[in-house]
Amino acid sequence: MAHAHSVKRHKGLMDWLTTVDHKKIAILYLIAGGLFFGIGGIEALLIRVQLAKPMNDFVTAQQFNELITMHGTTMIFLGVMPVIFALMNAVVPLQIGARDVAFPFLNSLGFWTFLFGGLLLNLSWVMGGAPDAGWTSYTPLSSTTYSLTHGVDFYTIGLQIAGLGTLIGGINFLATIITMRAPGMSFMRMPMFTWTSFVTSAMILFAFPAVTVGLVLLSFDRILGANFFNVEAGGNPVLWQHIFWIFGHPEVYILILPAFGVISEVVSTFSRKRLFGYSSMVFATILIAFLGFMVWAHHMFTTGMGPVANALFSIATMLIAVPTGIKIFNWLFTMWGGQIRFTTANLFAAGFIPTFVMGGVTGVMLASAPADYQYHDTYFVVAHFHYVIVGGLVLGLFAGLHYWWPKMFGRVLNEGLGKVEFWTFIIGFHLTFFVQHFLGLIGMQRRVFTYLPNQGFDLMNLISTIGAFLMGVGVIIFLVNVAISFKQPKGVAGDVWEDGRTLEWAIPSPPPEYNFKQTPLVRGIDAFWKEKMAGNTEMTPAEPVGPIHMPSPTILPFVMSVGLFIAGLGFMFTSDDFGNSLLNFLFSNYIITGIGLAITFGSMLLRSLYDDHGWHIEPEEMNDKGVKA
Amino acid sequence: MIGQVVFNWICQKPVHNRKKTEKWGRSMMKPWKAVKRLVPLFAGLALLLSACGREDLSVLRPQGTVAEGQLGLIKLSITIMVAVMIIVFGIAAYVWIKFRRKPGQTDVPKQVEGNFKLEIIWTAIPLVLVLILAVATVQKVFAYGENYSADKNAVKVKVTSHLFWWEFSYPDYGVTTAQDLIIPTGKKIALELKTADVLHSFWVPSLAGKTDTNTDGTINNAWIQADKEGVYLGKCAELCGPSHAFMEFKVKSVSEDSFNNWVEAMKAPAVLPEDPAVAEVFKNQCLTCHAVGDQGGPVGPNLTGIGSRETVASILLNEEGSGKPAGGKPVKDNMVEWLNDPQKVKPGNKMPQPKEDLGLTDEEIDAIAQYLADYKLSY
Amino acid sequence: MTTPHAQQASGALPHEPEKATLEGRNKVLGFWLFLGGEAVLFGTLFATFLTLRNQVADGPSASELFSLPITAAATFILLISSLTSVFAIQAMHRGNRTSLARWLGITVVLGLAFLVLEIYEFTEYIVHDDYGMTTSAFSSAFYTLVGFHGAHVLFGILWISILIGQLFKKGLTVVTAPKVYVSAMYWHFIDVVWVFIFTVVYLLGKVVG
């Protein structure tokens, strides 16, 4: 009788709006991330068109500043973060042998708040102008005195809502990895991607609240007339720089650590070897995360913090090279003595290693404060962080997508097309960004909407633009590959690469709703590989077959996010004159904001009042072929 | 090592310290041979770089003490980093070629857990490399963090950044100018930097790295020194609004005598337009914000001797400027272009539109442009 | 797997009902993590306040503004409410629903009293001293830090009130127990934050100036 709860199972669009299944949420994250990545990419191409030749007037100075601001913000917060969360959602529960995440409801809430925050930010393009003060939005340039449109309000409120989603996601994955591991899966038996997801989630938890506060202060300054950054009333603009980078630098590692995890999995699988130096990899990951919180001020060497602070932050920053180096060599020696198969996924991983090393060494160069006085805010920096974020993270994400695509969708991506995509993308990438190191060194500062001729900048900028379009072609080939893959019938083998080592390869592709029919017993690192080597074709179950409890789908996370969206929009326009007394009344009295918050908190109340008893999948329903874990 | 060679080879041959270059060149012959295979790559690079940028603009071709020291640090770090890259790329290439899976290979490779010795090695060596760089860094951090504003031999200059122009005032000489920072060659220039509005950053790549002009009311100190006479290009390096790209300035290093002459000329009483009608317009419309000599206001850039500056509005290059810049036009033409539509030249700048806002006619603009173009200082 | 309603049906409530189910344990752990994030949030607000606490511009300074008796009373009330929420959890562990609800009720009343004092304090400043968000950097930092805390107290009051209602409607079960438990954690957290506010904002402002 306990299992008698009936659950309304939705179909079509409603299924996606109400799902709490981590595998479906992964796909939602992937679609949203793809959308924003596309928008950010188009912005990048527009920037490169403008800079293709000196004194170009393809866009105006104002439009250019909006483009660079939105490109940076979109790519960091809305482009790559959700793809990371897509992989985490798709893979981590499977890798730890769990049926779901710790908080399925919060998982869904995290996605929808992220999405509505991102939509709100991008709405600025059609609602009077995008933010124009750079993705760092330094005050006072981002204050109402110098940034006259609502652009920066969209930035503060949009990022606030999206950041809330990310924070929720981080908490969820921390709890999931701590409590939901299958029997025998000790921390030191966790796959590397799970480890990096864990550390990244911890970093999200401690870094995002800082930017939450920063954004609150900036929006209070702009909307309520507060004085945090207003010098005339005693405010301190440098405070913004500190708060922003106390968040912003860990954010860089939040981004790159999951890529490290992906590379570890891919390299190890396609070398048919266990990860070399697993314990030192774990140690290095934690050390990088720790140091990541100690070095924020290296973004502010030219602010005049004094030689002592500059020297300390220089040394701390350089030290990060050591654990990062450990990782690089561990990957190389994972391949050493292995049998390397260059699938598209592994090609991306192989491309990652030298490219990321190049980004890493320029990072060490930038760490040296006196030299940084020269690099700072030039194209050298632009080249560096694109090497790390695109050459590191994005290559890692492509590797991960090609690797886990069969697991997520039950279809493989075409290998031939994948290789074309890899070469176009990576050649385009190096064309775009390699020359930018030199552009910076010969005197081109970043964030300039154009440049005078005869400075020696012209040729390299043209090369950079051509490279950017080549990268664009690479991404389009990937999209074509995706489209083609969906023409195939579903249902590739569970262990589709044949060398799968971790638990996700022990179950069908795509996995059934409940992931594991029986929770597997983990008997060592690379649990599935261990069983295969012992001659088993599947995992040893840790429990008998029984009914499986599942959380119910719910629309509340979606509604809560809509509420936040409305509240944010209402708050932004409190002091605007709409030329309509009713609208003015609704906005200036915070009525719209109130309605939005009422929707959100009302939904929370409903969630609290009506307990979700979930529903059960009975053993007789689990008749898929080869489901037994 | 290799970094040194490449740099000296590509960038530093024409530089005055030829001795050093030769020394490096000789001692570096052996590693040079060892990387023979990379020569085509470097050659291609060199072609691409067209000799490391302009002498007056490039970090790679320093013309002053600070920038030279900074390039030294850059070279040291590049050397270390290129070495690291060669090792990593070498191992990677070897592994990728040697350990490819052969067709039909089904045996399972040895599953290696790790190797304590190896792991120690690749923890210790990077640590040592980092330490080397750290020592050099700390030395230079303190050297360039030195504050010379109390030094009697140094020339003190107060730099104030504005949207989108630079103000330079010399408290010891009682003169203020804009856009062209005139300095005596071979002397330390002690800078005190602040901003009048948003955050900007003062950067003369061939003389020294950046220093921010802070918005919180604090004054940043920095120093520059030019080793030889010349004009060096300066830029704003912190996003400051639409015309951030155009917020350039010049550092003009002249002999000590010229410098003194310039100071005298700057202090001379203002020269106003000869035509009283034009003078009237100039006084009423321009001097409310701008100053010439002892007259006018401090809101806009000081115009004293603007006819002998390198540019109009920092980006319209004057044909008469030092080295006859490519694409330069006569001062007067530039002045007319600017006065006709400042917003077109520098979007978002704070000057009222002379025609629309101040009601100047074409004739008045022409006369004022002529007057300003002729307002030259001899030094 | 143990399902919450199966537990409920069998009638016996374990000693620590909040940790009896996986969902409950997850909730407690997740809430600890959430409080970690909240700590960073308030930490950043404190850092902001400390940076700006002397930046009074033309407005009054901390020592001119604050009156310690009111805030001391508020502190006392909030500390007592922390104690009462401990009693509530003890009652829950005894399985005594009525006592639990009563202690929670007292906690809510104390929270309300605190909030009334705070609103009174703010009104004094705004109405009598004409001292608002826009007066100075110090005032912005003050209202934001203390206001954030006040909003947390308000949320806590509403939350615990709703839980009291649920206790009467649904009873003390393995579903409601974790909710009560985490709300108590939350309440302790905002008490601790207040202790810091009282020290850093009021004592430091009044005594050191």
* pLDDT, tens digit (0-9, with 9 covering 90-100), for C15-65: 888 888 889 999 999 999 999 999 999 999 999 999 999 998 888 888 888
**Contact assignment for A65 to B239 by CB distance below 8 Å:** yes
Q: Scan for tokens 């001659």, then name that residue.
A: A535
Please give the domain boundaries of chain A with CATH numbers for all domains: 12-554+612-621 (1.20.210.10), 561-611 (no CATH)
Reported as a single tens digit per residue, the pLDDT across A505-544 is: 999 999 999 999 999 999 999 999 999 999 998 899 999 9
> Which has more confidence, B42 or B279?
B279
Residue A416: count of CB within 10 angstroms of its CB: 9
- Quick check: C136 and A179 CB within 8 A? no
- Per-residue pLDDT, averaged over A229-254, amounts to 94
Does the beta carbon of C161 lie under 8 angstroms from any beta carbon of chain A?
no
Mutate to test the interface with A, among C1, C152, C158, C174 (most CBs of A within 10 A): C1
Give Dmax (Cα) for chain A.
82
- Residue of B294, B293, B340 whose CA lies nearest to B313: B340
Q: Indicate if the pLDDT at residue A615 is higher than 60.
A: yes
Q: How confident is the model at residue C4 (pLDDT cuts 50, 70, 90)?
A: very low
Q: Between these two residues, B11 and A309, which has the higher pLDDT value?
A: A309
Confidence of residue B238 (pLDDT cuts 50, 70, 90): very high
Q: Measured between CA atoms, how close is A204 to chain C, in angstroms? A: 9
CA atoms within 13 A on the CB side of C91: 20
Superfamily classification of domain C18-208: Cytochrome c oxidase, subunit III, four-helix bundle (1.20.120.80)
Q: Give B13's pLDDT tier (boundaries 50, 70, 90).
A: very low
Are residues A343 and A269 in contact, defined by beta-carbon separation less than 8 angstroms? no
C163 contacts in A (CB within 8 Å)? Answer: 608
Measured CA to CA, the distance from residue B173 to residue A589 in angstroms comes to 57
pLDDT given at position B288:
94
For residue B243, pLDDT over 80 is answered with yes
For C87-114, what is each residue's pLDDT tens digit? 999 999 999 999 999 999 999 999 999 9
* Tens-place pLDDT, residues A254-306: 999 999 999 999 999 999 999 999 999 999 999 999 999 999 999 999 998 99
CA dist B201 and B211 (Å) reads 5
CB A440 within 8 A of CB A374: no
Q: CA A533 to CA B166: how far, in whole Å?
A: 71
Q: Which of C5, C25, C48 sits opposite A239 (nearest CB)?
A: C48
Question: What percent of chain B is modeled with pLDDT above 70?
Answer: 87
Supply the pLDDT for residue B25. 40
For range C114-141, the mean pLDDT? 92
Pick among C5, C10, C27, C33 to test the A interface (most A CBs inside 10 A):
C33
Q: B218: how many CB neighbours lie within 10 A of its CB?
A: 14
d(CA C41, CA C28): 20
Residue A494 has pLDDT above 60, yes or no: yes
Instruction: Note whether C29 and A179 are within 8 A (CB).
Output: yes
Q: How far is B118 from chain A (nearest CA, A)?
A: 9
Q: Is B51 left (phi over 0), alpha (psi -120 to 50) or beta?
A: left
| The pLDDT value given to residue C148 | 96
C5 to chain A: nearest residue by CA? A2
pLDDT range class, residue B22, cuts 50, 70, 90: very low
Is the pLDDT assigned to residue B5 strictly greater than 80? no
CA pair distance A281, A190, nearest whole angstrom: 12
Q: Looking at residue C140, what is its pLDDT?
A: 95
Give the percent of chain A with pLDDT over 90.
90
Mutate which: C44, C51, C53, C155, vs A, most A CBs within 10 A: C44
Binary contact (C141, A228; C-beta < 8 A): yes
Nearest to B247 by CA among B314, B300, B191, B184: B314
Q: What is the pLDDT of residues B105-137, one digit of tens each?
A: 888 999 999 999 999 999 999 999 999 999 999
A205 CB neighbours in chain C (<8 A) are: 33, 36-37, 40
Q: Residue B138: what pLDDT? A: 94
Chain A residue whose CA is closest to B326: A454
Give chains near C: 3+ CB pairs under 8 A.
A
Query: Do residues C120 and C77 touch, judged by C-beta distance below 8 A?
Result: no
The mean of the pLDDT values for chain C is 90
State mean pLDDT over B69-84.
Answer: 94
Q: Which of residues 132-151 of C touch A (CB under 8 A)?
A: 133-141, 143-144
Do B123 and A339 make contact, defined as CB atoms within 8 angstroms? no
C26:A102 CB<8 A = yes
Whole-angstrom Cα distance, residue A542 to residue A129?
57
**Is B143 in Cβ contact with A370 (below 8 Å)?**
yes
Identify the pLDDT of residue B14. 44
Residue A20: the pLDDT is: 95
Report d(CA A405, CA A26) in Å as an integer.
Answer: 11
Cis bond upstream, residue B205 (ω within 30):
no
pLDDT in the model for residue B6 = 55
Cβ separation C52–A212 shorter than 8 A: no
Give the model's pLDDT for residue B21.
40
Q: Which of B141, B211, B215 sits opposite A314 (nearest CB)?
A: B141
Instruction: Please state the φ and ψ torsions of residue A59, each to the nearest 5 degrees.
Output: -130, 165
- Mean of pLDDT over chain A: 94
Segment C111-127 mean pLDDT? 94
Q: How confident is the model at residue C2 (pLDDT cuts 50, 70, 90)?
A: very low
Q: Which chain C residues are within 8 Å of A246, Cβ to Cβ? A: 44
- Residue B42 — very low, low, confident or very high, per pLDDT cuts 50/70/90? low
Please tell me the distance in Å from A230's CA to the nearest CA on chain C.
7
C-alpha C106 chain-centroid distance: 14
Residues of A whose CB is below 8 A from C149: none
Chains in contact with A via at least 3 Cβ–Cβ pairs below 8 Å: B, C
Token pair recorded at residue A134: 């750079």
- Reply yes or no on whether the pLDDT at C7 is more than 80: no
Predicted local distance difference test score (pLDDT) of residue C17: 87
A302 with B201: Cβ contact below 8 A: yes
Given CB atoms, is C26 within the 8 Å cutoff of chain A?
yes
For residue C3, pLDDT beyond 70: no
Average pLDDT, integer, range A432-441: 95
- In single-letter form, the type of residue at position A207 comes to A
Amino acid identity, residue C110?
A: L
Q: So what's the pLDDT on residue C11? A: 54
Q: Which of C3, C33, C47 sits opposite A171 (nearest CB)?
A: C33
Tokens 């590191």 locate to A392
Is it the case that residue B260 has pLDDT exceeding 90? yes
Residue with tokens 């991008």: A122
Q: Does residue A15 have a pLDDT over 60?
A: yes
pLDDT digits (tens, 9 = 90+) for A302-337: 998 999 999 999 999 999 999 999 999 999 999 999
Residue A438 has pLDDT above 60, yes or no: yes
Best of A171, A177, A545 to disrupt the C interface (most C CBs within 10 Å) is A171
Residue in chain C closest to A173 (alpha carbons) equals C30
Residue in the structure block whose two tokens are 């040893």: A540
CA-based nearest residue in chain B for residue A332: B92
With 70 as the cut, is the pLDDT of residue B2 above it? no
Q: How many CB pairs under 8 A join A and C?
A: 128
Instruction: Please tell me the distance in Å from B345's CA to the nearest CA on chain A.
Output: 11
pLDDT at A557 over 90: yes
State mean pLDDT over A164-182.
96
Where in chain C are the domains? Answer: 18-208
Q: Which of B221, B239, B315, B334 to mutate to test the interface with A (most CBs of A within 10 A)?
A: B239
pLDDT for position B49: 53
Are chains C and B touching, using the cut-off of 8 Å on CB pairs and a minimum of 3 such pairs?
no
State how far Cα A427 lies from the chain centre. 24
